[in-house]
């Protein structure tokens, strides 16, 4: 018996009303049930690497908000460099650290440990087995450019200067890093699909820091190669590309990478995006996470602007980036009611 999955339908080009929705980082720190489990397990990596806990966290937002149309795997984009051979730690209040940073270490000195990805596949399988049939399970990975910025610098940064410098100064060396990420990402996402993921998202969180030529070289080209490879392996699995900060470069990205949907961040005018992005491509987005924190009439008007802008094309409602940890639960309930037409 075939089960209707609204989010998958939109990813395959249908218009659905009301729009299917999910929220980036929907499994996370704004939920008291997540904070309780995090306190019990002790660290972020402990949660990621314990499949039972990671599956529970993935499912938590759908239990609290049953009108969400998708679960997204609870994990982190830096699992890939961890499997490539860098050490990964999370420092409270400061974020992730990868060592040794490739700005000073050689890529070939890293000893690959692909078994570090195995618990993630276990998590995917557990979630798929427990997920309500009408919901879609989304797997994900970071796109090569964004992952490379962390691998080169060893941590996040405001302007990704170390990676950008290396890409200009030694494009051969930087390209080798991109290629290593690209190859493992294809394998990683393919195995997520084999474990039960029904759609995939590629997060390029730092795409906005590049010039147009560098964007073509380090964002568009590697993303297109990954998507082409995955389409060859899993032709029925739709893929969402999310190049945060791409702005005016979004139409070229949408035309060239081969994604089934394009994630749009909150800095993009949705009316412009609806006009400029190819009509054959679904659009995902793009409520400002701070409008969600504000709630009230500001949230009402912001949601309506997004819904109205994308009313005539396949649209998945989402935030322009991840939900923030101080977001009131009541505001999420208000958002879902607005999108789903309950008030």
Question: Annotated active-site positions, please?
Answer: 25, 29, 38, 76, 150
> How do beta strands 315-319 and 282-287 pair?
parallel
Q: What share of the chain is helix, strand, coil (3-state, %, to 5)?
A: 50, 15, 35
Distance CA 5, CA 150 (A): 35
Rounded-to-integer distance, Cα 126 and Cα 145, Å: 30
103 vs 84: CA distance, rounded Å = 16
* Residue 333: partners with Cβ closer than 8 Å, 6 or more residues away: 65
Q: Is the CB of residue 250 less than 8 Å from the CB of residue 304?
A: no
* Three-state DSSP class for residue 202: strand
d(C-alpha 283, C-alpha 262), whole Å? 5
Distance of alpha carbon 25 from alpha carbon 50, whole angstroms: 18
142 CB-near residues (< 8 Å, 6+ apart): 77, 78, 80, 185, 202, 203, 204, 205
């Amino acid at each position: 018996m075939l089960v209707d999955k609204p989010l998958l339908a939109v990813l395959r080009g249908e218009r659905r009303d009301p729009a299917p929705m999910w929220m980036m980082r929907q499994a996370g720190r704004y939920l008291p049930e997540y904070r309780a489990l995090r306190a019990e397990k002790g660290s972020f990596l402990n949660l990621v690497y314990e499949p039972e806990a990671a599956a529970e966290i993935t499912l938590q937002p759908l239990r609290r908000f049953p009108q969400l149309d998708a679960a997204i795997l609870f994990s982190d984009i830096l699992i890939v460099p961890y499997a490539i051979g860098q050490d990964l730690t999370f420092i409270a209040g400061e974020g992730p650290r990868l060592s040794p940073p490739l700005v000073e270490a050689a890529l070939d000195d890293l000893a690959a440990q692909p078994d570090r990805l195995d618990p993630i596949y276990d998590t995917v399988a557990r979630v798929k087995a427990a997920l309500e049939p009408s919901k879609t399970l989304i797997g994900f990975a970071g796109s090569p450019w964004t992952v490379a910025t962390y691998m080169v610098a060893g941590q996040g940064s405001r302007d990704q200067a170390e990676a950008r410098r290396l890409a200009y100064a030694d494009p051969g060396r930087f390209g080798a890093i991109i290629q290593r990420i690209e190859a493992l990402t294809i394998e990683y996402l393919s195995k997520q699909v084999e474990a039960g993921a029904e759609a995939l998202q590629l997060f390029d969180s730092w795409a906005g820091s590049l010039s147009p030529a560098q964007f073509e070289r380090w964002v568009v080209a590697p993303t297109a190669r990954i998507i082409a490879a995955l389409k060859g392996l899993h032709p029925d699995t739709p893929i969402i590309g999310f190049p945060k900060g791409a702005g005016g470069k979004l139409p070229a990205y949408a035309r060239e990478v081969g994604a089934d949907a394009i994630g749009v961040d909150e800095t993009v005018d949705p009316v412009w995006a609806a006009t400029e992005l190819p009509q054959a491509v679904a659009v995902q987005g793009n409520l400002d996470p701070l409008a969600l924190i504000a709630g009230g009439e500001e949230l009402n008007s912001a949601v309506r602007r997004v819904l109205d802008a994308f009313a005539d094309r396949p649209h998945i409602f989402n935030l322009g980036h991840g939900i923030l940890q101080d977001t009131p639960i009541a505001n999420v309930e208000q958002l879902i009611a607005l999108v789903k037409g309950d008030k």
